[in-house]
């Protein structure tokens, strides 16, 4: 293994670390220096493509740490940044020498400044805001300067708090207007009173924010610094402090509860990055990947502002007991705000397994197979895995004489490499599927060695920009063999790397847990020699969708590893389609002439423009006009959600008896089939499948 020699190196390093810690400042914790040493060596010796600890690295860590502590530039002033800048090019040397001076300097100043700002919001909120003043605030913090002094910092705070107050005031005014529309005798509350209520709400939110802020410990901030070091190697390399490692282990157990969504931190926001198939949010249908959660309200409770809240804490508010409702105030990717109410439930693992549907089209029968992830459990031999489930699902569909299959990999973030290889083998005779490369050695070709073909009929694979990792391995193999038509987004996510979680406690003899490191150790390549990294899989047929122009793939991540190539593997193209290229061209013509697809593309361009618009008006009338303009433009695209097909989807015969005896399963399948019927992407995939023909004389597997 790549870490074997660490056993001989690290005990020596540990002794050095303890020696140096005896000479450190009062701020120092010996454990921190041990962690820093272990981290540097594991990253240097174990990462697939280690980054040099040089001036460029130093400057990147410098920028990342300051940005992580103060993403909205509401704490540090320019004098602080000027002082910190002396460390900009020496952090690499400090890490090598177990010197934490930069961290302590910035961390101590950050705590000092954050304590000072606790006074700001109270002073600002003492007096009413004048919403007739024509002023604005640009939320593009990356381009905005730091405050020149504390007076200007106070002005930054005033505008940001005014934005928060204005948002609440606007909602309250809309509520008043709605009440008046329903009852013309209703007396609308005066704006001055609503403004006071809005300020009180912001004050309450800010007080709660600082209460949560004060719960963050030194260890939390030090873990942030360590992650700023780790993330310079690539976006998937990250440090787990002991508490985060425990939660990671729990998440890997497959036990999901709440609304069925996964989140990550984006600056001060909690961002939706995945909806769990079959979960409450997925079934409710309004929450989307890319949405930012602004507020959370428990059933019949007041909304709690979670902007700036630590991710773990925000998730605790979103989670809750089965059957309870949670209302999320969401900032959509088009800039509009929406309140979404979801009934919490236990997200059953069953819904992350393979499932299929049968559809009739022009007198022919086709199968749609949904694979949410490439799942496997190495610890339980009797546990279901995606390969055996896929074999079973194909066999059941063959019994119903389906003439073609659509395999839906949209939003499939990956999973087991082993099952990706095995499932690929179900559609070809045998041969290479993917190439896997460790650092410094030639790539190893991973092949399907089973000559049996489970399905050799027409196959269409549906992907989108969120299809990643193992999904890309499968889609790339099917494309390289010309075994399937790949249809969907312009390109898949573009994650061509493999990570392993390394327990850092194996490299020291302290009586403390120092956590773990998720480390990129491999890169995988297509059998044609190209990497999936950054490029992903480019669809044979590109379908416009709302993510087309947004920054959502690996190519938009900081420090992503580069695209490269290796030698192609030896493989033979599956050459049994009679009209492969013709079908692709026909689909492209249909898409170009389809009004709904054209509207989707127009919507995607508008979403990109809306995302780039960071200017907030602080005059009430201008703010209201801007919001209503966004909402009016958004309504233009309502037809996209209203779209429906004339197709009917049903459960396979084997499942129909189960559905009739299981109310819960019946509801889930009804919801899925309803979504399929409204799915223009599934419809076009079936159009392609309907046209694909096998060469005469080629034997189709029936049993």
Active site residues: 469, 480, 495
Within 10 angstroms of residue 363's Cβ, the number of other Cβ atoms is: 5
Render 348-362 in DSSP notation, one character per residue.
Answer: -GGGGS-EEEEEEET
For 260, 323, 452, the CA distances from 345, given in Å and listed in that order, are: 8, 6, 41
Alpha helices in 406-491 (DSSP H): 417-425, 470-480
Residue written as token pair 């007396």: 187
Over the range 531-540, which residues count as b (16 or more CB within 10 Å of their CB) and which as e? bbbbbbbebb
List Cβ neighbours of 589 (8 Å cut-off, separation of 6 or more): none
User: Which DSSP letter does residue 463 get?
Assistant: E
The C-alpha atoms of residue 572 and residue 430 are separated, in whole angstroms, by: 10
Region of residue 503 (left: phi > 0; alpha: psi -120 to 50; beta: else) = beta
Provide the sign of the torsion angle of the four alpha carbons 176, 204, 160, 223, taken in this order. negative
Alpha helices in 125-233 (DSSP H): 150-182, 191-215, 218-230
The C-alpha atoms of residue 514 and residue 411 are separated, in whole angstroms, by: 34
> Which SS3 state, helix, strand or coil, does residue 541 take?
strand
How wide is the angle at C-alpha 600 spanned by C-alphas 594 and 603, nearest 5°? 140
The C-alpha atoms of residue 466 and residue 87 are separated, in whole angstroms, by: 38
The C-alpha atoms of residue 342 and residue 324 are separated, in whole angstroms, by: 8
Provide the sign of the torsion angle of the four alpha carbons 276, 282, 287, 290, taken in this order. positive
Closest CA to 215 of 76, 78, 310, 339: 310
Q: In whole angstroms, what separates CA 251 from the centre of its chain? A: 15
């Amino acid at each position: 293994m790549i870490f074997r020699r660490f056993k001989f190196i690290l005990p020596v390093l540990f002794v050095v670390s303890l020696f140096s810690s005896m000479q450190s400042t009062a701020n120092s914790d010996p454990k921190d220096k041990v962690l820093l040493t272990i981290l540097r060596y594991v990253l240097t010796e174990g990462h697939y493509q280690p980054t040099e600890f040089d001036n460029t690295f130093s400057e990147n860590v410098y920028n990342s740490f300051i940005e992580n502590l103060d993403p909205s530039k509401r704490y540090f002033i320019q004098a602080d940044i000027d002082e910190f800048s002396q460390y900009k090019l020496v952090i690499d040397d400090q890490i090598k020498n177990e010197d934490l001076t930069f961290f302590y300097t910035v961390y101590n100043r950050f705590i000092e400044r954050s304590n000072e700002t606790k006074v700001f919001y109270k002073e600002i909120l003492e007096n009413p805001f004048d919403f007739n003043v024509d002023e604005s605030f640009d939320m593009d913090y990356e381009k905005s300067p730091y405050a020149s002094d504390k007076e200007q910092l106070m002005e930054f705070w005033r505008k940001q708090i005014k934005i928060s107050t204005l948002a609440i005031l606007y909602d309250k005014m809309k509520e008043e207007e709605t009440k008046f529309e329903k009852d013309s005798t209703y007396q609308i509350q005066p704006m001055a009173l609503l403004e006071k209520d809005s300020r009180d709400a912001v004050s309450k939110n800010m007080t709660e924010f600082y209460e949560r802020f004060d719960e963050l410990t030194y260890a939390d901030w030090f873990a942030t610094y360590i992650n700023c070091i780790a993330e310079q190697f690539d976006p998937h390399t990250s440090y787990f402090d002991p508490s985060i490692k425990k939660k990671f282990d729990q998440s890997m157990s497959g036990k999901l509860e709440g609304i069925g969504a996964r989140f990550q931190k984006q600056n001060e926001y909690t961002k939706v990055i995945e909806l769990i198939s079959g979960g409450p949010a997925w079934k409710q249908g309004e929450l989307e990947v890319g949405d930012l959660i602004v507020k959370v309200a428990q059933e019949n409770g007041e909304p709690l502002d979670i902007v700036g809240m630590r991710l773990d804490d925000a998730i605790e508010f979103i989670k809750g007991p089965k059957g309870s409702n949670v209302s999320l105030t969401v900032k959509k990717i088009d800039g509009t705000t929406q309140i979404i109410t979801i009934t919490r439930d236990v997200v059953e693992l069953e819904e992350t397994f393979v499932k299929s549907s049968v559809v009739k089209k022009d007198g022919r029968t086709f199968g749609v197979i949904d694979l949410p992830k490439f799942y496997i459990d190495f610890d339980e031999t009797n546990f279901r895995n995606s390969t055996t489930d896929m074999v079973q699902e194909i066999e059941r569909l063959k019994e119903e004489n389906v003439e073609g299959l659509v395999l839906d990999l949209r939003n499939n973030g990956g999973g087991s490499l082993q099952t990706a290889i095995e499932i690929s083998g179900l559609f070809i005779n045998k041969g290479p599927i993917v190439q896997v490369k460790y650092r410094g050695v030639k790539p190893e070709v991973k092949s399907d060695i089973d000559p049996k073909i489970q399905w050799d009929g027409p196959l269409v694979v549906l992907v989108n920009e969120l299809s990643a990792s193992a999904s890309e391995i499968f889609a790339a193999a099917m494309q390289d063999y010309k075994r399937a038509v790949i249809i969907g987004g312009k390109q898949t996510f573009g994650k061509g790397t493999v990570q392993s979680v390394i327990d850092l406690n194996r490299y020291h003899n302290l009586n403390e847990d120092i956590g773990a490191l998720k480390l990129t150790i491999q890169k995988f390549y297509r059998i044609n020699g190209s990497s999936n990294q950054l490029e992903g899989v480019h669809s044979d047929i590109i379908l416009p969708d709302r993510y087309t122009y947004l920054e959502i793939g690996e190519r938009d991540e900081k420090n992503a590893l580069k695209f490269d190539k290796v030698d192609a593997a030896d493989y033979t193209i599956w050459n049994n389609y009679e009209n492969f290229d013709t079908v692709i061209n026909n689909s492209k013509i249909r898409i170009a002439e389809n009004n709904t697809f054209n509207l989707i593309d127009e919507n995607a361009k508008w979403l990109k423009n809306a995302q780039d618009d960071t200017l907030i008006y602080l005059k009430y009338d201008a703010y209201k006009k801007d919001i209503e303009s966004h909402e009016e433009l958004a309504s233009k695209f309502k037809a996209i959600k209203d779209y429906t097909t004339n197709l009917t989807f049903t459960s396979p015969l084997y499942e129909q008896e189960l559905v009739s005896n299981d109310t819960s399963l019946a509801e889930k399948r009804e919801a899925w089939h309803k979504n399929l019927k409204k799915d223009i992407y599934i419809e076009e995939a079936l159009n392609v499948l309907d046209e694909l023909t096998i060469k005469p004389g080629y034997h189709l597997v029936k049993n």
